[in-house]
Amino acid sequence: MNNAIRPAPGIAGRSKRKALGQHFLHHKGILQRIVRVIDPHPDEVIVEVGAGKGALTFLLIEKKAKVIAIEKDLSLVPLLEKQVFPNLTVLAADVLKVDFSGLLREKKAKIIGNLPYVISSPLLFKVLQDKDLFTSCVFLLQKEFAHRLCAGPGTKKYAPLSILFQNDFVTRLHFEVPASMFSPPPKVESALVSLKHRGQPLYSIPNKDAFRLFLKSAFRSRRKTLSNNMKMSGIPPSRIRESFLACAIDGNSRAEQLSLRDFVALYTFLHEGLPKP
């Protein structure tokens, strides 16, 4: 029978879908395409964020995957528990408060879901913090956010988000989903992305919180050069010139022109001396 984990303290019993940003995907063809990207295998553990009415949940169960369905809206939990499956665990909880390490007990898993925009960024950074628990992630995100996550250097969407995640994951945007595929239709379009864990990061970055702040300052104003943005963050001009010369970076470059490797080299030079070859 279903392994139902009952409400955590503080979860409202009444449905507040507007506040939760819930838009349910109802198009069977799109759901099947998502399942193909997830590529579930028998006995594989899959954590589903925002299981909702179970449209995707039950397709994964049919593939014999072990699904942990997380749903915050208590009015929807009975829909998930209505049918009895030995490979379904229902967790009534706010995913941002879930201890993934305790939930998975050192098992590797995939994490998937149709994410409301309001939790997309905090959840992704929570996943990044616990990245070693997940072999891959498949998320339906607001299109703008999805493009930013997967963007490369030299594009307008390239941002700190792109850099931070692409160091640890191979990111891919699979397809876009129009608002008409959801009920109720959101005001924006969505896109499906996958993040495949690299196993080892492309670059070892000490003090990742400091690196994140460094990237934020580098992209402070896209109309300004990287050099000017760095000056605004308090780095002396002479030190900036020295770092650009050491890292072979054009002094007139803008942040979106630099690769992940360039940013790591620049950060390493400024914070820990010359980068290793």
The answer to whether residue 203 is domain-embedded is no
Rg (C-alpha) for the chain, rounded Å, is 21
Let me know whether 189 and 243 are in one domain.
no
**Do residue 70 and residue 33 come from a single domain?**
yes
Checking if the pLDDT of 258 tops 70, the result is yes
| Residue 79 belongs to some domain of the structure | yes
Same domain flag for 218 and 101: no
pLDDT tens per residue, range 195-244: 999 999 999 998 899 999 999 999 999 999 999 999 998 899 999 999 99
Residue 202 in any domain: the answer is no
Q: Which of these three, 154, 173, 197, is where a domain ends?
A: 197
Q: What is the pLDDT of residue 3?
A: 57
Mean pLDDT check: name the lowest of 9-13, 96-100, 154-158, 228-232: 9-13
Helix (H, G, I), strand (E, B) or coil at 197: strand
Determine the pLDDT at residue 7: 47
Residues 222 and 187 in one domain: no
Domain enclosing residue 212, as ranges: 208-272
Taking residues 242-252, report their average pLDDT. 95
- Give me the number of domains the chain comprises: 2
Q: Tell me: pLDDT of 37 over 70.
A: yes
Q: Are strands 109-114 and 45-49 parallel, antiparallel or unpaired?
A: parallel
CATH number for the domain including 237?
A: 1.10.8.100
Q: Look at residue 11 and tell me whether its pLDDT is greater than 50.
A: no
Element (H, E) at 45: strand 45-49
Do residue 76 and residue 161 come from a single domain?
yes
Mark whether 191 and 214 lie in a shared domain.
no
Q: What global pTM score does this model have?
A: 0.88
Both 250 and 136 in one domain: the answer is: no
Q: Is residue 115 part of a domain?
A: yes
Alpha helix segments (H runs only) across the chain: 17-20, 28-38, 57-62, 77-81, 100-104, 117-129, 143-150, 160-166, 208-218, 226-232, 237-246, 260-272
* CATH (domain of 32): 3.40.50.150
Regarding whether 128 and 20 lie in a shared domain, the answer is yes
Residue 95 has pLDDT above 70, yes or no: yes
C-alpha span between 270 and 215 (Å, rounded): 13
- Regarding predicted confidence, which is higher, 23 or 209? 209
CA distance 243 to 31: 49
In a domain, 277, yes or no: no
